[in-house]
Amino acid sequence: MTATFEIFEVEPGGSVMWRGSAAAFEEAKAFIEKLGTPRRGDYIIFSLKTGKKVVIKPDGSTTEQDLGRI
């Protein structure tokens, strides 16, 4: 598996903890769902290929931000 997405959990206070990697975006979303609910905070899925990040809120809503290529 070549990981192209990194998964982070946003902790209270704003720091982030790496939670895993995934080859596909849908795989990353499924990984977050498996972590359990209710979620304490936001999760970030970051694309190593495009530089985009998607923030997934505890209610399931998402926001996307283009950070450009690293």
Strand, helix or coil at 14? coil
Among residues 3, 60, 15, 7, the alpha carbon closest in space to that of 37 is found at: 60
Q: Would you state the pLDDT for residue 70?
A: 45
Look up the domain containing 14 and give its range: 5-66
Q: What is the rounded distance in angstroms from the CA atom of residue 70 to the CA atom of residue 56?
A: 22
What are 12-70's pLDDT values in tens digits? 888 999 999 999 999 999 999 888 656 678 999 999 999 999 999 888 888 887 766 54
Residue 40 · residue 58 · CB < 8 Å: yes
Tally of domains within the chain? 1
**Helix segments in the chain, DSSP class H:** 25-34
